[in-house]
Chains A and B, each alone.
Chain A
Amino acid sequence: MDLSRRELLTLFLGAPFAFAACRETSARRLPDGEIVGQTVSLGHTLREGKTFEVPAANWETKRVAIVGAGIAGLSAAWRLLGKGFDDVAIVELEKEAGGTSRSGEGTPVKYPWGAHYLPVPFAENADLVALLDEMSLLEARGPSGEIVAKEEFLCREPEERVFYKGRWYEGLYLNAGASSEDKRQFDQFYVEVNKWINFRDAKGRRAFVLPVEHCSDDAEATALDKLSFADWLTQNGFDSPRLRWYCDYACRDDYGLKLEETSAWAGLFYFCSRVKKSGDESQPFITVPEGNGQFVSHFAGKAGDRIRKGWMAVSIEPKENGVDVTCLVDGELRGIRAEKLIFAGPMFTVPYLIRGFREAPPFAAEEFRHNAWFVANLHLSDRPKPRFRSDFPLAWDNVLYESPSLGYVNATHQKGIDYGPAILTYYYPMCAEKDARTTLFNYDRDQIAEVCLSDLERAHRDIRDLTTRLDVMRWGHAMISPQPNFIWSGVRQKAMEPYRNIHFAHTDLGGVALFEEAFYHGLRAADAIAK
């Protein structure tokens, strides 16, 4: 057992940590819990390329069919319903809608299984602002027309803290012990960032703005996509370890990629796209305990029973005047004959699902690469005890400097619940590691729970005793990877074109896995159909 634990911890948390952790021989208790969500075997039946015969009685007709009830598919449905297109069906292979914005019900609060915040959009993003207004998340517009979210939805201070060499410090950038050279580089880094924030091309477009579709395609900016963020930092003389850690954390957090694996364009996008003008604070975050699950609930409330959960699309067949979708539902085949179809599933599945695509592909679907993650939700009977009086207190986002994980988010934070039971959501990106997906699915709940608890034990010795339940979600294809030469390679642009009667809408088309991208592409596809 102990050797395999060491191997396990070496694989996920690194050899030095595993060595240290395995010296302690005290009994290691594991709380109850289970693997939730995604059933791998279900998705992988697609690969076998079977043909499916739907019984004649099982066919129905719809004006629009949407495949995938993640944010993109739900946004598309929301738009279509808003425009009076009622005859819509959304098929979703999972038992729950929401994709990576899914959430869970717990005590004392709900909790996220993936995406957990949305930066307040700029006023220019009128569609998104309209959604937030509809959800009553915004204050009445002031005289200057500023978009201001209601206080209870704006991430409560303290937002972030970082654990380093046994202590917790305020913020995400590690200020404690920074040398004057570290500080100089940090300031200089923001000089570069501010340059890009203020950049406008000949048409007045920003270099980095949400959605990506509104970014400048000027070569000066898009050239950044040809190198990695790590190389860009090196070329600009940034070698401060803590600055590079800070940028690496940003990449792992937003893209599930390491610094060396992320395109410099995507790296700078993270720092620039949510800042109005140089010197401004980054746009504040809208968040609730269930994270972006609140958008899923809102969309699902509008779509009602148009969402067909547990319907796995197994074949999409473009026809002269429409599209036929075949779904596997509880072992039975059902068909939807739609005039138009919005494909809001991950793009790599396109060749497996759409008949005829593989024979004459209009774009290279395999260029849409995804990375794997696991997310664990820890149900705690009480808060971990601080070890030092000077430790910065529990924040919303709690990051471990020396860990390949992203640390955890505290779901009770936003509700002002500061005592007693809590739910912590622990995020671990597998990055672009080779065979990461296989690695992840080789391990069971107990092993992943062991990784999570061993990692958090470095900061909270009492975490194992406090955790009453630990559930795990393994995201095999969590998010699109903005590696170099992807975002501006042209493949996304080609995929935005309809393929016969099929419109693509997934977040993948934005090149970065953000709510705003899913929403934008969902609406774009819906508008193309509704026009």
Chain B
Amino acid sequence: MKRAPLLFLNVFIIAICGLIYELLAGTLSSYVLGDSVTQFSIIIGTYLFAMGVGSYLSRFVEKNVANRFVEVELAVAVVGGFSAPLLFLTFANLSYFGIVLYGLVFIIGALVGLEIPLLMRILKDELDFKDLVSRVLAFDYIGALVASLLFPIFFVPRLGLNRTSLIFGMLNAAVAIWGTWLLEPLLKRNITLLRVKGAVIIILLAIAFIKSDRLTSLAEDSLYVDNIIYSKSSHYQRIIVTKGKTGYALFLNGNLQFSSFDEYRYHEALVHPVFSTFRGEPKRVLVLGGGDGLALREIEKYSSVEFIQLVDLDPDMTNISFAVPALGDLNHHSFLDPRVQVTNADAFVWLDSVATDPFDIVIIDFPDPNNFALGKLYTTRFYNLLKKKLLPSSAVVVQTTSPLMARKSFWCIAETLEAAGFDVRPYYTAVPSFGIWGYSLASLSPFDTPTKIRDGIETRFVNAEMMPSMFEFANDTSRPKEPLEVNRLDNQALVRYYEEEWRRFEQ
């Protein structure tokens, strides 16, 4: 049997595996550290350099070249196969992530860099030098192409990063075992030992593969099914914008904030009822949160509005419509409206420290209360601070998470507003990418449930016919019978409700 053609197949698979590990590292570091251009650039550079180092080091392998070749292949199988799970585990410990990431990339690169020269030396007695070089390198580069095509099209969407990594580890080990037969005449001693090692590695990788669901739930592996077109770790949060078949989506710390496919349902239901609640011509509007500018787009439809103060923590959020032009198109360039004034501050601190004239309408659109820093924005203290910026006639709306998925949290916010002295009308609507989503209308004086949209306002979703139904709760979303705690700074009851309720839906 001529082994050369089969060994070329071997080269081909090695090349695929090597490139897959490199792509995994690049993707993971883009997820974790953001800025994909920088990440991929550094990963590719490190990897190629490490290959060079590996190639150079191959000259120090003098004896038992075939043995060394198989051993190197097994080493790649272990390090490469476990690379993604290992990176996911270190991901929890951010201070080590960079070291582990570049360490792994370097080790894999160096090992892969060792392989090809060793293989060429093994084959040098069977082929002409010109044939050898042309074929080995051709197969090497074809493998790279196949890997780079299959990775985004098939492996990431179908298997996720962890399982892709583990599968290629197994494949790599299998090729190494197969190599022990191909190279049998050249192998000195210990062939069985090599095969046993290979088998053990495959078994370990297989176990990890079976358990990978648990591992995945630890991290954000399968979170972004669509392509990431923008990612940034700002001072406050991790911002990710993806683009897929249904359009654009924005994630903060891995939590979906909107999907361009149905965000109009969310934002129209947020903005128009509160405008209908206010009696008279609203002039001054306060927006807390809402740095995506989508609520602004709806507010700007009202020509009576003279001034819109938007307070959002994160400058990287309020600038995102400029950083990602598609989002500027989506919000109709709402930040360019001269009526808008943007302040980057924590709304709690802003309310506590900045004096302003009162506002007619306040739109509160914070992320869900999944940590204490956000939880404080839903407390009686926060609403009492807000009252200083209100007139008795002012109307307020608050985004209040899902009454279906987090029923206690939803009603806890309503009760907290009541405890702060507001008349409150909770309501909800369906936003497919979120599910059943809730809000609360509030005012310091009693008010009627709104029944129509103001004249001349064009909407895609909200209308007078459906508006009353938003305020009717079904048996599975109505106010719970058991008493709920009011969310206060000194108990942060909401964060605890929220964690308890949403944890049920985590895998």
Q: Which of A362-391 contact B (CB under 8 A)?
A: 385-390
**Contact A388:B92 (CB < 8 A) given known A393-B373, A416-B489:** yes
Do A157 and B346 touch (CB < 8 A)? no
State in angstroms the CA–CA spacing of A343 and B336 once bound together: 67
**Is residue A146 contacting chain B, with contact meaning CB distance below 8 A?**
no
Partner of A385, one of B95, B372, B380: B95
Q: Which of B82-106 contact A (CB under 8 A)?
A: 91-95
Residue among A157, A386, A416 having the largest count of chain B Cβ atoms under 10 Å: A416
Residue among B352, B384, B489 having the largest count of chain A Cβ atoms under 10 Å: B489
Residue among A390, A419, A461 having the largest count of chain B Cβ atoms under 10 Å: A419
Partner of A393, one of B372, B381, B488: B372
Do A417 and B95 touch (CB < 8 A)? no
Give the nearest-CB partner of B376 in chain A.
A416
State in angstroms the CA–CA spacing of A389 and B92 once bound together: 5
Do A390 and B492 touch (CB < 8 A)? no
**Is residue A66 contacting chain B, with contact meaning CB distance below 8 A?**
no
1/0 contact string of A24-44 vs chain B (CB within 8 Å): 000000000000000000000
Do A387 and B346 touch (CB < 8 A)? no
State in angstroms the CA–CA spacing of A461 and B99 once bound together: 15
**Contact A419:B488 (CB < 8 A) given known A157-B372, A158-B372:** no
Partner of B489, one of A152, A387, A419: A152
Do A386 and B94 touch (CB < 8 A)? yes
**Is residue A211 contacting chain B, with contact meaning CB distance below 8 A?**
no
Minimum CB–CB distance for A16 against chain B, Å: 23
Minimum CB–CB distance for A116 against chain B, Å: 16
**Contact A151:B488 (CB < 8 A) given known A416-B346, A419-B235:** yes
Q: Which of B360-383 contact A (CB under 8 A)?
A: 371-373, 376, 379-381
User: Within 8 Å CB of B437, what residues of A?
Assistant: none
User: Within 8 Å CB of B384, what residues of A?
Assistant: 151
User: Within 8 Å CB of A415, what residues of B?
Assistant: 349, 352
**Is residue A154 contacting chain B, with contact meaning CB distance below 8 A?**
yes
Do A387 and B95 touch (CB < 8 A)? yes
State in angstroms the CA–CA spacing of A242 and B348 once bound together: 37
Minimum CB–CB distance for A300 against chain B, Å: 24
User: Within 8 Å CB of B93, what residues of A?
Assistant: 387-388
Do B236 and A390 touch (CB < 8 A)? no
State in angstroms the CA–CA spacing of A362 and B381 once bound together: 53
Give the nearest-CB partner of B353 in chain A.
A415
Do B490 and A284 touch (CB < 8 A)? yes
User: Within 8 Å CB of A157, what residues of B?
Assistant: 372, 489-492, 495
Minimum CB–CB distance for B234 against chain A, Å: 11
| Apart from A151-B379, A157-B489, A416-B489, 4 more pairs, CB < 8 Å | A154-B489, A388-B94, A415-B349, A418-B372
Measuring CB to CB, which residues of chain B are less than 8 angstroms from any residue of chain A? Answer: 91-95, 235-236, 313, 346, 348-349, 352, 371-373, 376, 379-381, 384, 488-492, 495
Measuring CB to CB, which residues of chain A are less than 8 angstroms from any residue of chain B? Answer: 151-152, 154-158, 284, 385-390, 393, 415-419, 461
Query: What are 25 A-B residue pairs whose CB atoms fall within 8 Å in the complex?
Result: A151-B381, A151-B488, A151-B489, A152-B381, A155-B490, A156-B490, A156-B492, A157-B491, A157-B495, A158-B492, A284-B490, A386-B94, A387-B93, A387-B94, A389-B91, A389-B92, A390-B92, A393-B371, A393-B373, A416-B346, A416-B376, A417-B346, A418-B346, A419-B313, A419-B373
